[in-house]
Structure 1
Amino acid sequence: MQFKDYANFHQMLCETVDRHGESPAYRWFDENGEATSVTWQEFYDQVKSVSKSLIALGVGHGDKVNILSYTCYKWVLTDLGNMSVGAGTVGIYQSNLPQDCKYIINHSDAVLVFAENQEQLDKLLEIRNEIPEVRKVILFNGEYDDDWVITYDEFLGLGDDIEDAAFEKRTQMVTPGDTAGLVYTSGTTGVPKGVVLTHDNLTFTCQSVHLSGVFNDGEEMFVFLPLAHVFARTCCYTGVRTGNRTSFARGIDTLLEDFGLAAPHWFVSVPRVFEKIHTKIISGVEAKGGIALKLFHWACEVGGEVSERKVAKKNIPLSLGLKYLVARKLIFSKIHKALGGNVKWCISGAAPLNPDIARFFHAAGLLILEGIGMTENTSFSNVNRQDSYDFGVVGPPGVGIEHKIAEDGEVLFKGRNVMKEYYKMPEETAETFTEDGWLRTGDLGSIDENNVLKITGRKKELIITAGGKNIAPSRIEGMMVTSKYINQFCVVGDQRKFLSAVATLDQENVTAYAVENNIPFDDDEDLLSHPDIQALIDAEVAERNKELASFETIKKVAIVPEFTIENNMMTPTFKLKKNVIMENYEEKIDTLYG
Structure 2
Amino acid sequence: MPANHDASFVDTMPANVAVQFFDRVEKSSSAEAFRFPVGESWESVTWREAGDRVTALAAGLLALGIESEQRVGIAAGTRYEWILADLAVMCAGAATTTVYPSTNSEDTAYILSDSGSRVVFAEDDEQLEKLRSHRDEIPDVIKVVTFDGTTDGDWVIDMDTLAEMGRAYLAEHPSIIETTAAAIRPDQLATLIYTSGTTGRPKGVRLRHRSWVFEGEAIRVQEILDDTDLHFLWLPMAHSFGKVLLSAQLACGFATAIDGRVERIIDNLAVVKPTFMGAAPRIFEKAYSRIHMMQAAEGGAKEKLFNKAFAVGARFDELEREGKSVPLGLKLQHGLFDKLVFSKVRARFGGRVRFFISGSAALNAEIGQWFHSAGILILEGYGMTENAAGATVGHPEEYKMGTVGQALPGAEVRIGENDEVQLRGPHVMEGYHNLPEETAQAFTEDGWLRTGDKGSLDADGFLTITGRIKDLFKTSGGKYIAPPAIEAKFKAICPYVSQFMVFGNERNYVVALVTLDPDAIAGWAEENQMAGKDYTEVVRSEQVREMVGGYVEQLNARLNRWETIKKWDILDHDLTIESGELTPSMKVKRNVVEDNNKAKIEAFYS
Relative to the length of structure 1, the TM-score reads: 0.96
SS of the aligned residue for 2:167 comes to coil
Residue 214 (1) aligns with residue 224 (2) = yes
> In structure 2, what is the Cα distance between the partners aligned to 1:410 and 1:29?
43
Aligned counterpart, 2:521: 510
Runs of at least 4 residues off by over 6 Å: none
How far apart, CA to CA, are the structure 2 residues paired with 1:212 and 1:309? 27
Q: Deviation per CA, 1:301-349: give whole Å up to 9, x if none.
A: 1221232233334454544333223222221222222211210101101
Identity of aligned residues (%): 38
Q: Determine helix, strand or coil for the equivalent of 1:46.
A: helix
1:472 is aligned, of 463, 482, 487, to 482
Alignment deviations for residues 268-294 of structure 1 (CA, whole Å, 9 cap, x no partner): 000010001111011111011001101
Q: CA deviation at 1:204?
A: 1.3
Matches within 5 A, 1:273-312: 273-312=283-322
Counterpart contact for 1:264–1:343, Cα < 8 Å: yes
The corresponding residue for 2:534 is: 523
2:76 aligned to which of 62, 69, 73: 69
What are the superposed Cα offsets for residues 513-562 of structure 1, whole Å, 9 maximum, x if unpaired?
A: 45544569953222333333222212211101211111111111121121
- Counterpart residue number, 1:497: 508
What SS class does the counterpart of residue 25 from structure 2 fall into?
helix
- Aligned residue for 2:357, secondary structure, equals strand
Deviation of 1:53 after TM superposition, in Å, equals 0.6
| Residue of 9, 19, 23 corresponding to 2:17 | 9
Written as runs of structure 1 = structure 2, the 5 A alignment for 1:157-172 is: 157-162=164-169, 163-172=173-182
Distance in 2, Cα, partners of 1:267 & 1:558? 35
C-alpha contact (below 8 Å) 2:236/2:260 kept by paired residues:
no
Q: Say if 2:413 and 2:424, in contact at 8 Å, map to a contact too.
A: yes
1:30/1:250 contact within 8 Å kept: no
CA distance in structure 2 between the aligned counterparts of 1:579 and 1:78, rounded to whole angstroms: 35
The residue identity in structure 2 corresponding to 1:547 is R
Partner of 2:561: 550
One-letter identity of the residue aligned with 1:137? V
The correspondence for 1:538, drawn from 549, 556, 570, is 549
Aligned residues: 593
Residue 58 in 1 paired to residue 69 in 2?
A: no
- Computed over aligned residues only, the root mean square deviation of the Cα atoms, in angstroms, reads 1.8
**CA shift for structure 1 position 512:** 4.4
Q: 1: CA distance between counterparts of 2:323 and 2:200?
A: 45
2:26 to 18, 23, 38: 18
Structure 2 SS opposite 1:389? coil
In the other structure, the counterpart of 2:592 is 580
- Contact in 2 for aligned 1:85/1:170 (Cα 8 Å): yes
- 1:380 aligns to what SS in structure 2? coil
**Who is 1:571 aligned against?**
583
Amino acid aligned to 2:498: N
Is the 2:60–2:167 Cα contact (8 Å) retained in structure 1?
Answer: yes
* 8 Å Cα contact 2:514/2:568 also seen in 1: yes
Q: CA deviation at 1:111?
A: 0.6
State how far apart, in whole Å, the 1-side matches of 2:546 and 2:184 are: 62
Q: Once the 2 structures are TM-superposed, how far is the Cα of residue 35 of structure 1 from its aligned partner?
A: 1.8
Larger mean CA deviation between 214-223 and 493-502 belongs to 214-223
Indicate the residue corresponding to 2:338 in structure 1: 328
Deviations 1:351-400 (A, max 9, x none): 00000000010011100001101001110111111112222211111111
Alignment of 1:314-325 (within 5 A): 314-325=324-335
Contact 2:13 2:217 in 1 (8 A): no
**Structure 2 CA distance for aligned equivalents of residues 189 and 543 of structure 1:** 38
Inter-partner Cα distance in structure 1 for 2:200 and 2:462: 31
Contact 1:25 1:43 in 2 (8 A): yes
Letter in 2 for 1:64: R
Q: Does the 8 A contact of 1:26 with 1:37 survive in 2? A: yes
Q: CA deviation at 1:189?
A: 7.0
Q: In the alignment, is residue 257 of structure 1 matched against residue 264 of structure 2?
A: no
Letter in 2 for 1:238: A
| In the alignment, structure 1 residue 592 sits paired with structure 2 residue 599 | no
Whole-Å separation in 1 of the counterparts to 2:519 and 2:235: 24
Inter-partner Cα distance in structure 2 for 1:161 and 1:542:
69
Report SS of the residue matched to 1:366.
coil
Instruction: State the distance in 2 between where 1:88 and 1:13 align.
Output: 15
Kindly provide the CA deviation profile for residues 23-43 of structure 1, in whole angstroms up to 9, marking residues without a partner as x: 1111111121x2221222222
Evaluate the alpha carbon distance shift between residue 522 and residue 362 of structure 1 in structure 2; reply closer, same or farther with a 3 A threshold.
closer
Partner residue, 2:119: 112
Extract unaligned runs of 5+ from structure 2: 1-5
**Could you say what secondary structure the match of 2:407 adopts?**
coil
Please give the alpha-carbon distance, in whole angstroms, between the structure 2 residues aligned to 1:403 and 1:316: 36
38 and 519 in structure 1: CA distance in 2 versus 1, 3 angstrom threshold:
closer
1:37 to 27, 40, 44: 44
How many angstroms does 1:209 deviate by?
2.2
How big is the shift at 1:494?
Answer: 0.5
State the partner residue of 1:90.
97
Deviation at 1:588?
A: 0.4
Change (3 A) 1:97 1:362: same
How do 1:102-501 and structure 2 match up within 5 A?
102-162=109-169, 163-187=173-197, 190-482=200-492, 483-501=494-512
Does structure 2 retain, via aligned residues, the 8 Å contact 1:250–1:258?
no
Aligned partners of 1:56 and 1:158 also within 8 Å: yes
Q: Extract unaligned runs of 5+ from structure 1.
A: none
Give the superposition deviation at 1:485: 2.3
* Residues 69 and 115 in structure 1, CA contact (< 8 A), matched pair in contact too: yes
The aligned amino acid for 1:478 is: A
Q: In the TM superposition, what is the alpha-carbon distance from 1:593 to its structure 2 partner? A: 1.1
1:404-461 deviation line (CA, Å, top 9, x unaligned): 1113111111111111111111000000000000110000011111111111111111
> Is contact 1:538–1:556 with CA below 8 Å preserved after alignment?
no
Conserved 8 A contact 1:265-1:342 = yes
User: What amino acid does structure 2 have at the position aligned with 1:579?
Assistant: N
Contact 1:260 1:338 in 2 (8 A): yes
> 1:188·1:571 contact (CA, 8 Å) conserved in 2?
no
Quote the offset at 1:120 in angstroms: 1.7
> Quick one: distance in 2 between partners of 1:520 and 1:224?
32
In the aligned structure 2, how far is the partner of 1:431 from the partner of 1:171?
Answer: 34
Pick closer, same or farther for the CA change 1:48–1:513 going to 2, 3 Å.
closer
Kindly tell me: are residues 520 and 296 of structure 1, through their superposed partners in 2, closer, same or farther at Cα, counting changes over 3 Å?
closer
